[in-house]
Structures are given as structure tokens and as C-alpha cells.
Amino acid sequence: MPGLLTALAGTLTAIGGLLIALNQIGLVGHPGAPRTEVAERAPGDAPVGSTAPAASSTAAPAPGAVAGGKAGYRVSLPSESSVILRNNRAVCTYELLGTEVRRRTAEMLTLTISVRLTNAGPLDTSFGTSSFRLLVDGVPREPTNWLNTAVDARSAKDAQIEFDLPTSTKTLELQITNEETGSIPLALQRLS
């Protein structure tokens, strides 16, 4: 009897480990929604600025920029904010939908970039944070959240990619790699 219980415990442990591994690589879980792990916000953190499209506005913003918050910072998108990358499985269009800037500390900001990946096919393709780097004054920074999903052929998915950056940042460029590499320049602006 003790040997049987030991064997059962070992089998259950192995099955649990397998399920955790399959969930981590995206083979089990909620297939309809991309997995993201968002960095926790410290107490007192609040959205500082956003370039998400506004419903209506009396003053037209600069190309690629949409009204931000009352104070703090915003990141403006260029008028052409998409890149097309080809890999051995698909033709992928990465489109930036908007940005949000939150204050993390007195000297650090968290930038959230909303991205849509449209896959023209012929096969599915991966959509993950490992494809994104933010060049902050020429230095590549990895995302602070995690995403690992797939986009089926002839379909699209939206996701949010987060980065930390100092308030003293002079230049920003989002670099996207999916066998080919493309980049989109961004502009950090302090709001009065």
C-alpha cells in the first residue's frame, strides 16, 4: 500500500508539472485571450497621459498624437505607425493602436503600447513580448510584462506591451523582430 501511494503521488506531480508547462507555452488555458502579466502598480500610481483615440476633440492633435492627460508625459505615434514583416510562416502587420504613460517613480515612467498583429497567412505565427524591444536613447530595453500567444492565419489579435523608461529620455524607437526587423520612432513629450 505505501508503494502504491508513492507511485500515485509521483504520477500526480508529473501531470501537474506537465499542465503547468503546457500552460506556460500557451497550449492549454484560455486560447481566445492573449496571456499578459502586467507589472504591479505602486499605491498612488495613476495614469499620467494617453494617446488612445479620443471620442471628440475641438483641437486637432499633431499627426499620430492624440490628446493626453492634464499633466505629466505622453508618447506620440508617427503618422505611419505600422510595419510589415515576413517570416517562414506568415506575412505579419504590426500596427500601434495607442500608448499610455503612467508615472512609476519621480524619475521612472511605465509606457504601455497597444499593438495589433494581423496575420495574412498562410500559417499561424507567434505573438509575444520577445519580439519587442524599446530603444531608449539607443539602449535596447525588454518589456516588463509577458505575452506568448499565436495568431491564426487570416486573423488578428491585440495586446499590450509594457516598458519602463526614465523621465530624462531623449529618443525612443520601438523595434519589432519576427525573422525580419522593423522599427517605429516614438516621441516622449512632457505635458504642461
Place of cell 492624440: 66
Instruction: Please state, in angstroms and rounded to a whole number, the distance separating the CA atoms of residues 16 and 168.
Output: 46
Per the model's pLDDT, the better-predicted residue between 65 and 191 turns out to be 191
The helix, strand and coil proportions of the chain, stated in percent and rounded to the nearest 5, come to 15, 50, 40
Structure confidence at residue 27 as a pLDDT band (50, 70, 90): low
Is domain 43-53+63-191 given the CATH code 1.10.1240.10 in the classification?
no
Instruction: Please state, in angstroms and rounded to a whole number, the distance separating the CA atoms of residues 24 and 159.
Output: 17
- Give the pLDDT score at 6: 79
Contact indicator for 61, 168 with CB cutoff of 8 Å: no
Instruction: Please state, in angstroms and rounded to a whole number, the distance separating the CA atoms of residues 171 and 80.
Output: 17
Q: In sequence order, which residues have a C-beta less than 8 Å from that of residue 148 and are 6 or more positions away?
A: 24, 25, 26, 35, 126, 128, 129, 130
- Give the pLDDT score at 91: 97
Structure confidence at residue 94 as a pLDDT band (50, 70, 90): very high
Q: How many residues does the chain have?
A: 192
Structure confidence at residue 4 as a pLDDT band (50, 70, 90): confident
Per the model's pLDDT, the better-predicted residue between 7 and 68 turns out to be 7
pLDDT of 93 over the 90 cut: yes
pLDDT of 38 over the 50 cut: no
Lowest mean pLDDT segment, chosen from 16-20, 80-84, 107-111, 157-161: 16-20
The 3-state DSSP class for residue 17 equals helix
